[in-house]
Amino acid sequence: MGIALVTGGTSGIGATFARQLAANGDDIVLVARDESRLEQMAHELRGMGREVEILPADLSKRADVAKVVTRLEDAARPIDVLVNNAGFGMHSKLSDADSTVHDFAFEVMVRAVRELGAAAARSMRARGHGRIINVSSTAGFITMASGYSAIKTWVTAFSEGLSNDLHRTGVTVTALCPGWVHTEFHARAGISKGGIPSWMWLDSEKLVKSALRDAERGKVISIPSVRYKVLMWFARHLPRSAVRSISRAISSSRSSTVTE
């Protein structure tokens, strides 16, 4: 059907996107840092009958981001779907003297998202069709003290702005805003499932199916599941002082579940 490029495509939500896009008939370009994991994932997807390119890239490095931009701009092998998924959890506080983690997060989850989204937008607009899915978070609707909320607020706002930029061009932009999802992402971020109510966990396959359906319909903000839609409605409509209070409680709960 087409070619989809997925960043962070070897694990978690990214891997689920790669599998479902392949199952839908798309060939896949996988972008991630670990070449051995890229090869493993590519082998799996080729077993589904798809053509798979691997593109090792560390999106915290601007030269590597430029390589992915070049691939997105290749008119001979056009990308029909971009999934900007690469990212990681953060526990460093906004007031920390050491800005290393924040600098790294900015490069991967802000600058790279902007560069790749813009490159895809230019290429897709020239052809008159395409889909861009930026993986944001429901954390962007609240005010966590780690900086993750601020970054994901930006991703959602960027997606909305890019959608306006591409209005009536045939190219859609969707910000996927999941909550807690059953993947290794939260394990790597130090979040124990035991510390979060069971009803708040989402299934990654259902999440991605919902996101792809929303993107196909041109929906700009995709919030999976009725329960998260309701929660985010309250996050948008409650007084900001109440949102800050709830965010402090969540931050405290998350801190208590960090594993060393």
Distance CA 111, CA 86 (A): 12
Q: Copy the structure tokens of residue 186.
A: 């939260």
Q: What region does 81 belong to: left with phi over 0, alpha with psi -120 to 50, or beta?
A: beta
Distance CA 223, CA 70 (A): 31
DSSP class of residue 34 equals -
Q: Is 228 a catalytic residue?
A: no
Distance CA 209, CA 214 (A): 9
CA nearest neighbour of 29 among 48, 7, 2, 53: 53
Give the other-Cβ count within 10 Å of 248's Cβ.
Answer: 14
141, 148, 158, 228: which one is catalytic? 148
Give the other-Cβ count within 10 Å of 91's Cβ.
Answer: 18
Distance CA 137, CA 93 (A): 18
Q: Do residues 175 and 132 make contact, with C-beta atoms less than 8 angstroms apart?
A: no
The CA-CA-CA angle for residues 37, 43, 44, to 5°, reads 95
Annotated catalytic residues are 148
